[in-house]
Structure 1
Amino acid sequence: MKSKITSALADFFFEYETPRQVLVRNRRVGVVCRLIQLGVLGYIIGWVFIYEKGYQSTDTAVSSVFTKMKGVGYTNVSGTERVWDVADYVFPPQVNASFVVMTNYIVTESQQMGKCPEVCAEALSPFPLPRKTLNVSVQGQMTGVCVNATKTCEVLAWCPVEDDHTIPEYVHSSWFSNCKLILAFHSSLTFSHTVHVMIQTTYRDIKCLHDPVTAPLCPIFKLGDIVRLSGFSFETIAKVGGAIGIVVDWTCNLDANVKHCKPQYNFHGLYGNPAEPDKAKASVGYNFRYAEHYMENKTQKRTLFKVFGIRLDIIVQSLARKFDIIPTLTAIGSGVGIFGVATVVCDLVLLYLLPKREFYKNMKFKYTDIQKPVSSNVKWTFKKKGKTGAQELLSRSEHQ
């Protein structure tokens, strides 16, 4: 028993087994094999290395964006003149990666807490309502009293209540069309893990103006150009508001000089489809309300603003690539493994599709029968005669 175990261990550690190979001279199989290998080689070189950059490792960026609004606007609504600066039309005042630029508004002045009739687009029906209907409406707490003059319900609210059923034409058309508003970006980002590098947008001409063709790197934009590049009608979006995404895209190949790492700016409308008519869109517009409170004759009052504006969301997306030996070896190893597909396909053709498939099976596989061991003379003949001896051995086995 000990000798058997020792012999088995010696055979395991000190012997090497190699797969049997058969050289097949067949033009069709050879052409199929080479075509598959060429296809795999083209995939590895063209797709993995050239297109997907499989020899590089990737990383995203830790980034920040600073924005600044410039421009002063002028409006004349019903004879009331007013000048609007950045503190009036930008929300929030400390501009960050998401902010709103006011383009239209509805103002309700001198509101104070009290009881007054609701304002509805159409009179309620049936009318009058029961006097004890005490629920909350959109504009306040119902008192259960009906107002015959307006055919609406009386509410406890800030009076007079806001009437926003008719949206005025956008009031900032003059200074928007005259390009008084400029938006400036100062973007910076740091790539980590793969490489530590600080990249910041710089532009020598601070008086430049962004143009996709002539000045694609300029970080200063007109609001009108942003709306136009996003695919929307400026007149519509200025009246009812909307949302636009500004994508700052950093795609950098850090194997080259870092000065070639430059941002690209893209603009996308974030609601509806720009190709559809405005009335067909499911959701059009963006608005919110805010109030300015003050005291008058010891009475608390407020001025309510319903603001229509363009919400600008700045989105930074980044991808840095740099050569790395580990993904390179991984890509090469996986490519070499795919070469085995050619062998599998050719074996299937040889063993199952060709007319001489039985002959190829006998050449590829060596069959043994433990009940009839092969004699030493036959083994000697196989070793001495080479290929001729192998054919003779196969013929003998077939006769047997």
Structure 2
Amino acid sequence: MSESFCEKSQRHCSLITYAFSPSHIKDIFVSMATTYETPKIITINSLPIAITCRIVQLLILIYAFVYIIWYKRGYQNRDSSLLSSVTLEANGIGVYNKDGIMTVDNADYIVPPEENNALFIMTNYIETDQQRGLCAESADIRDSGCKQDLECEKKRRNRVIWNGRWTGKCHQPEGRCEMEGWCPVENDTVIPKPIIGTLNYTIFLRNFVEFTRFSVMRRNVLNDTSYFRTCRYHPEHDSLCPIFRIADLLDIVESDPEEREKMMTNGAVLRIKIDWMCNLDLGEQECKPSYSFGRLDSRFRDERFSFGFNFRYASHWRVNKTEFRTLKKAFGLRFIVTVNGDAGRFSLLVLTLNIGSIVGVLGLATFICDIVALYFSEQGYIYRRQKFQSVHLKNKTIGASTVVQSSVHKRKMARKIKQRT
């Protein structure tokens, strides 16, 4: 009969048997409960390595305490998930010269009346009175010109952009294809001048915020009503005033007078950003907002395809079963308000965690110095010999068991034998 696997590999089977024997497992658990391991500390008398270690530790401490603890307020518990509510009101009277002088107020130039965190102020518009019927297509539509009906019949099969349904006829005397829809077609090739007085409009911004973690609620309008009735925002003199003049905002976001004029004529998109950066350790009354402004759309000299901001809206009515509408293409300034906030208050737990992290990072200095001493020092071989200790294990097979002894264990056994003799 052939020999079994254990008979062929008696040594390996003995090792496996010993490793999973109850006595060996018991020794492992006893050793874990009764022994303690500690790192080996070696003192190196080297001035360059010592200076390197102290410099690295100093840099770590400066970064930790100056940047993390002081500048970033690493001793505070932070809350950046604020709840915010924004309302905007515009006031001012404008004059529009079209077929006579017409006065407009905020009910006329604020479209739509209410938006979420936004406000549109109409500075210019093109108005067209229309009714349903047949008329010539707009000259802005490509290939709308014609001389006979056959041309329009062929063109309408592949049309994508038009102002109405093409009938396939050539409308005379305009010499353009006929369409069925709202007539006459809007003509926006010539944009009129802006509404007079728009630059003097004012925007009143109210903002309410709450830092839920600290149960702190703040608002940008304080209790000094006499001040807020007469103030106007200025980045240096009245930086807390929530009433903004249109002309002042345009001066802040755009320094080029020609660009500002085009913004009033063709429209633009502006941003009002409110920042609540609050240190609650100084008191809730010191938690005040700061305002910043910017332009979101492209400059007119940089944009070639689509510039400004405009949209169309219409009002409909019916007279003697005939439908009419007034179509307005509105140009104006769209203000978008964004609110950002961060509040902090002293927390012993946060400070303790950050100090613990700093202590852990200080170990980086030891690691760097070890690399220098081991691989960049002329006497690195001496340091390596002292730092790394090799323990050689010898295996002896006795019957079906294996005894593993180290040099340390041998010395202990030798002492016991001497004591007995």
Q: TM-score, normalised by structure 2?
A: 0.81
**Distance in 2 of aligned mates of 1:85 and 1:209:** 20
SS in 1 for 2:297: coil
Question: Identity percentage over the alignment?
Answer: 33
Deviations 1:263-294 (A, max 9, x none): 11111101115xxxx23225421111111222
* Equivalences for residues 11-50 of structure 1 within 5 A: 11-50=31-70
Amino acid at match of 1:296: V
Deviation at 1:296, TM superposition (A): 3.0
> In the alignment, is the contact (CA less than 8 A) between 2:202 and 2:246 conserved in 1?
yes
* Structure 1 residues 235 and 356: CA distance shift in structure 2, 3 A: same
Task: Identify the residue that residue 271 of structure 2 maps to in structure 1.
Answer: 245
**Distance in 1 of aligned mates of 2:46 and 2:413:** 30
**Distance in 2 of aligned mates of 1:130 and 1:202:** 62
* Equivalences for residues 88-167 of structure 1 within 5 A: 88-94=108-114, 96-109=116-129, 111-121=130-140, 124=143, 127-128=146-147, 129-131=151-153, 133=156, 135=159, 137-167=161-191
**Distance in 2 of aligned mates of 1:258 and 1:379:** 75
> In the alignment, is the contact (CA less than 8 A) between 1:123 and 1:151 conserved in 2?
no
Answer yes or no: is 1:197 the counterpart of 2:216.
yes
Deviation at 1:202, TM superposition (A): 2.2
* Structure 1 residues 25 and 142: CA distance shift in structure 2, 3 A: same
Task: Identify the residue that residue 216 of structure 1 maps to in structure 2.
Answer: 239
Amino acid at match of 1:117: A
Deviation at 1:325, TM superposition (A): 3.2
> In the alignment, is the contact (CA less than 8 A) between 2:137 and 2:144 conserved in 1?
no
Amino acid at match of 1:156: E
Amino acid at match of 1:330: L
**Distance in 2 of aligned mates of 1:9 and 1:96:** 67
> In the alignment, is the contact (CA less than 8 A) between 1:246 and 1:314 conserved in 2?
yes
**Distance in 2 of aligned mates of 1:123 and 1:22:** 87
Amino acid at match of 1:157: G
* Structure 1 residues 326 and 294: CA distance shift in structure 2, 3 A: same
**Distance in 2 of aligned mates of 1:298 and 1:15:** 102
Deviation at 1:5, TM superposition (A): 5.0
Amino acid at match of 2:327: L
* Structure 1 residues 5 and 239: CA distance shift in structure 2, 3 A: closer
Among 83, 89, 94, the residue aligned to 1:68:
89
SS in 2 for 1:131: helix
Deviation at 1:75, TM superposition (A): 1.8
Answer yes or no: is 1:87 the counterpart of 2:87.
no
* Structure 1 residues 353 and 378: CA distance shift in structure 2, 3 A: farther
**Distance in 1 of aligned mates of 2:38 and 2:207:** 60
Among 301, 306, 312, the residue aligned to 1:279:
301
**Distance in 2 of aligned mates of 1:192 and 1:310:** 34
**Gaps (5+ residues) in structure 2?**
1-20, 395-405, 416-421
> In the alignment, is the contact (CA less than 8 A) between 2:269 and 2:297 conserved in 1?
yes
**Distance in 2 of aligned mates of 1:333 and 1:162:** 71
Amino acid at match of 1:190: E
**Distance in 2 of aligned mates of 1:308 and 1:5:** 84
Deviation at 1:136, TM superposition (A): 5.9
Task: Identify the residue that residue 373 of structure 1 maps to in structure 2.
Answer: 407
Amino acid at match of 1:201: N
**Distance in 2 of aligned mates of 1:298 and 1:156:** 18
Deviation at 1:340, TM superposition (A): 1.3
* Structure 1 residues 377 and 112: CA distance shift in structure 2, 3 A: closer
Deviation at 1:378, TM superposition (A): 12
Q: Highest Rg: 1 or 2?
A: 2
* Structure 1 residues 368 and 297: CA distance shift in structure 2, 3 A: closer
**Distance in 2 of aligned mates of 1:330 and 1:70:** 52
SS in 2 for 1:114: strand
Moved more, 253-262 or 94-103: 94-103
**Gaps (5+ residues) in structure 1?**
381-400
**Distance in 1 of aligned mates of 2:22 and 2:267:** 90
**Distance in 2 of aligned mates of 1:75 and 1:227:** 21
Task: Identify the residue that residue 313 of structure 1 maps to in structure 2.
Answer: 336
Among 264, 281, 291, the residue aligned to 1:265:
291
| RMSD over equivalenced CA pairs, Å | 2.4
